[in-house]
């Protein structure tokens, strides 16, 4: 069954709560103060079943002091029910609520003219004319207008029919994969623990689902879900829900926080936005102007950073950056409302285009070009901008679609059209950026050759520190691309230029010195010399090369593979030791270190490192104090 969230908005005391009560039988003014004063202070909730589907009704306060609450209620609604008192007609909050609904992206509405049982002569016609003028040119100009009376019930059937038509014509809410629940209330229940409520903006929720509380980053898990007072196994996007969570206490959460899928959002102090100043605003928005920013259930302060002008005139739209005093955590393309710091009146709003990594300089054409793409409807331009913005780390193609609310197939087509470099697991990097990374890797290998002419090459494991913060899959992908293109080669885990041979780089003196070092260890056999007595700082590179080439074998004896004694054998000595042990114990006989000492004739100082070297080479297998030869 289709479901639609409906925000009930309008000027204070125009009969919103009475109309909801007449439609549903529910009393949305739950607080005693609300009932005593006759006005709504907090959001009220009701449910209405109609032939075409269900309405989740959110009754928003009409008083100007509670605009923050009204915005929190209207955010996430697919349609509004605008309530206008027939005798008072269009009033300030009628206009402000309509402006807010439009800025929040709501495009469907029904107009209910209330209190028609006590309408003064000519007021029906006058109010209808005022509304026609107000709605002209807005998304709501074709909204049906219904005359009603909550007292007598007149017009309620017509109102239900109009609301049913809205459900019929509404597009189904699409599950976009990333759960995003702005929290508007936090409390504890005995026997259950922490409970939060809100309207699920995106994605779905189910029991045992893992979530992150933002901006704190605390991990939470869904324990139980309720919707409209009933326990449910799953909540779809657009529904009001109460979520019982474990892992986070009431004291660690507050209104304005968000529960979201892990990794879907990250806290930031800067947001790139498309900012529209209302035509009826009291003045322009200026550079570095303090504003109140409201999105979801969040209200916080920011300063405007205008990128291509000094002010935004009423009726104009600009791409700007908002810089916040505390971290915020919205999803991309979420709507927001901006109000003056003082006096507290709505000045405009728009869409959140991106979470910025830092502040931009004014007139930054690159930033403006990217934001123009994000603000547009061209999928190829949006994807190209996202790729460039991600730099060398690239993007997950599936995640990019979720972030930008694009269909996966459209994103894939755009990536193909752009010619992005594709890595494993659907990861993409802008092609020129990827090739630049590959060039830098090849140059790093070349520089290593120049500085270490006797090395086989740069160990692949030593690449990462040169590219701090780079996704490992991107680095590995670039290396594989270079190998495939034969721009690099790999030998024994070392990367080198295809034409490079370390032996060819040796001078005659190098070759003589290397031979002398090797001869010293060959002569030493199983009682090798201390490397410090054979190797100087000038010949250390030759010594390391002999180890890498396997002519010398370094004995490492601790669990981390680090040498506890500086003992190095010539490979001939190791092979000779293998031959002797095999001759003595090839029948499967277990032997101790003392037995091996008797066969090899070396001291325990060298014997133990040698045996442990053979263990790691899987020539021997150790079991307690005994060893056997491996059967291979």
Are the C-beta atoms of residues 98 and 140 closer than 8 Å to each other?
yes
Average pLDDT over every residue of 478-493: 93
Q: Which CATH class is domain 180-260?
A: mainly beta
pLDDT at residue number 35? 42
| Token pair of 59 as six digits | 């009754």
Better-scored residue on pLDDT, 357 or 177: 177
Given this model, what pLDDT does residue 32 score?
Answer: 40
CATH number of 508-629: 1.10.10.10
> Phi and psi dihedrals of 178, rounded to 5?
-100, 115
Looking at residues 252-267, what average pLDDT do you find?
91
Does the structure show a pLDDT above 90 at 1?
Answer: no
Write out the E strands in 178-289.
180-182, 185-189, 193-199, 205-206, 210-214, 218-227, 230-232, 234-235, 240-246, 258-260, 268-277, 285-286
DSSP for 18-34?
Answer: HHHHHHHS-----SHHH
Quick one: CA dihedral 165, 170, 172, 175, positive or negative?
A: negative
Tokens 């004319």 belong to 129
Mean pLDDT of 509-525: 93
CA 296 to chain centroid, in Å, comes to 17
Note if the pTM is more than 0.85: no
Query: How far is 541 from 574, CA to CA, in rounded Å?
Result: 23
pLDDT at 194 over 50: yes
Q: In whole angstroms, what is the distance from residue 319 CA to residue 339 CA?
A: 17
Rounded average pLDDT over 569-588 = 93
Say yes or no to pLDDT of 270 above 70: yes
CB 108 within 8 A of CB 342: no
Tokens of 616: 């790691």
Portions of the chain given CATH number 1.10.10.10 = 433-504, 508-629
Classify domain 268-370 at the CATH topology level. Answer: Elongation Factor Tu (Ef-tu); domain 3 (2.40.30)
Nearest to 160 by CA among 148, 143, 178: 148
Residues 527-546: what's their mean pLDDT? 90
pLDDT at res. 82? 96
> For the domain bounded by 2-169, which CATH number is listed?
3.40.50.300
Residue 362: band (very low, low, confident or very high) from pLDDT cuts 50, 70, 90: confident
As a whole number, the mean pLDDT across the chain is 89
Query: CB neighbours of 223 closer than 8 A, spacing ≥ 6?
Result: 192, 193, 207, 208, 244, 245, 246
Selected residue with higher pLDDT from 238 and 615: 615
Of 190-194, 313-317, 349-353, 417-421, the poorest mean pLDDT is in: 190-194
> Can you tell me the mean pLDDT for 474-493?
93
For position 484, what pLDDT does the model report? Answer: 95
Share of the chain above pLDDT 90, in %: 66
CATH 2.40.30.10 in the chain is located at 180-260, 268-370
Structure tokens at 25: 């039988």
Distance CA 163, CA 399 (A): 35
Q: Which long-range contacts (CB under 8 A, 24 or more apart) does 408-411 make?
A: 410/379, 411/379, 411/383
Residue 39 has pLDDT above 60, yes or no: no
List CB contacts of 142: < 8 A, sequence separation 6 or more: none
Closest to 275 (Cα-Cα) out of 257, 258, 287: 287
Find the farthest-apart pair of alpha carbons in the chain and give their distance in angstroms, rounded: 121
Q: Which fold has domain 433-504?
A: Arc Repressor Mutant, subunit A (1.10.10)
At 556 the pLDDT is 66
Q: Which tens digits make up the pLDDT trace of 391-401? A: 999 999 988 98
CATH annotation of 377-429? 1.10.10
177 — pLDDT class (breaks 50, 70, 90): confident
Read off the pLDDT of residues 67-88 as tens digits, 9 standing for 90 and up. Answer: 777 777 777 789 999 999 999 9
Predicted local distance difference test score (pLDDT) of residue 565: 58
- pLDDT for 75: 79
Q: What is the pLDDT of residue 561?
A: 42
For residue 562, what pLDDT band results from cuts at 50, 70 and 90?
Answer: very low
Whether the CA torsion 365, 371, 375, 380 is positive or negative: it is positive
- Determine the average pLDDT of the residues in 452-475: 89
Residues 6+ apart with CB under 8 A from 387: 394, 395, 418, 420, 428, 429, 430, 433
Separation in Å, CA 125 to CA 79, 88, 129: 25, 12, 6
Please tell me the distance from the alpha carbon of residue 403 to that of residue 396, in angstroms, as a whole number: 10
Average pLDDT over residues 200-224: 93
* Residue 632 binned pLDDT confidence (cut-offs 50, 70, 90): low
Judge whether 203 and 189 are in contact, CB under 8 Å.
Answer: no
């Amino acid at each position: 069954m289709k479901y639609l969230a409906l925000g009930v908005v309008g000027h204070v005391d125009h009969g919103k709560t009475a109309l909801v009560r007449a439609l549903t039988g529910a009393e949305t003014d739950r607080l005693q103060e609300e009932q005593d004063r006759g006005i709504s202070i907090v959001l009220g909730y009701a449910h209405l079943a109609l032939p075409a589907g269900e309405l989740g009704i959110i009754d928003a306060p009409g008083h100007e002091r509670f605009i923050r609450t009204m915005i929190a209620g209207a955010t996430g609604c697919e349609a509004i029910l605008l309530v206008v008192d027939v005798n008072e007609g269009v009033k300030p909050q009628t206009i402000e609520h309509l402006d807010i609904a439009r800025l929040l992206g709501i495009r469907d509405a029904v107009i209910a003219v209330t209190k028609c049982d006590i309408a003064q002569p000519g007021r029906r016609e006058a109010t209808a004319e005022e509304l026609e003028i107000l709605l002209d040119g807005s998304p709501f100009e074709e909204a049906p207008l219904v005359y009603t009376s909550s007292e007598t019930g007149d017009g309620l059937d017509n109102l239900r029919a109009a609301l049913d038509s809205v459900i019929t014509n509404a597009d189904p809410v699409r599950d976009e994969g990333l759960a995003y629940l702005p929290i508007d209330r936090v409390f504890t229940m005995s026997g259950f623990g922490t409970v939060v409520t809100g309207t699920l903006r995106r994605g779905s929720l189910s029991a045992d689902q893992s979530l992150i509380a933002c901006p704190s980053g605390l991990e939470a898990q869904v324990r139980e879900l309720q919707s409209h007072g009933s326990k449910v196994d799953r909540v779809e996007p657009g529904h009001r829900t109460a979520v019982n969570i474990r892992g986070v206490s009431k004291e660690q959460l507050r209104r304005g926080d968000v529960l979201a899928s892990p990794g879907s959002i990250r806290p930031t102090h800067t947001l790139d936005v498309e900012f529209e100043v209302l035509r009826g605003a009291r003045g322009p928005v200026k550079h570095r102007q303090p504003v109140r920013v409201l999105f979801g259930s969040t209200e916080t302060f920011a300063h405007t950073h205008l990128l291509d002008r000094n002010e935004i005139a009423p009726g104009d739209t600009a791409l700007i950056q908002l810089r916040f005093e505390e971290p915020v955590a919205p999803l991309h393309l979420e709507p927001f409302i901006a109000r003056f710091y003082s006096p507290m009146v709505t000045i405009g709003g728009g869409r959140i285009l991106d979470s910025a990594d830092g502040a931009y300089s004014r007139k930054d054409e690159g930033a403006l070009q990217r934001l123009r793409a994000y603000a547009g409807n061209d999928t190829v331009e949006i994807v190209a901008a996202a790729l460039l913005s991600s730099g060398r780390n690239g993007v997950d193609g599936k995640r990019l679609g979720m972030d930008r609310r694009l269909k996966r197939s459209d994103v894939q087509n755009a990536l193909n059209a752009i010619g992005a470099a594709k890595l494993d697991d659907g990861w993409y990097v802008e092609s020129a950026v990827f090739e630049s990374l590959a060039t830098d890797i090849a140059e790093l290998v070349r520089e290593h050759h120049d500085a270490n002419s006797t090395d086989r090459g740069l160990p692949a494991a030593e690449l990462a520190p040169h590219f701090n913060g780079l996704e490992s899959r991107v680095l590995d992908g670039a290396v594989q691309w270079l190998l495939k293109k034969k721009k690099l080669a790999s030998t024994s885990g070392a990367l080198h230029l295809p034409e490079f041979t370390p032996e060819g780089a040796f001078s005659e003196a190098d070759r003589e010195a290397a031979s002398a070092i090797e001869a010293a260890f060959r002569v030493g056999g199983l009682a090798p010399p201390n490397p410090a007595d054979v190797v100087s700082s000038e010949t250390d590179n030759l010594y390391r090369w002999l180890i890498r080439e396997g002519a010398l074998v370094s004995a490492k004896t601790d669990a981390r593979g680090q040498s506890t004694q500086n003992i190095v054998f010539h490979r001939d000595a190791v092979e000779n030791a293998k031959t002797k042990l095999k001759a003595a114990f090839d029948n499967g006989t277990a032997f101790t270190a003392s037995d091996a000492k008797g066969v090899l004739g070396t001291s325990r100082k060298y014997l133990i490192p040698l045996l442990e070297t053979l263990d790691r080479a899987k020539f021997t297998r150790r079991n307690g104090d005994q060893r056997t030869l491996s059967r291979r």
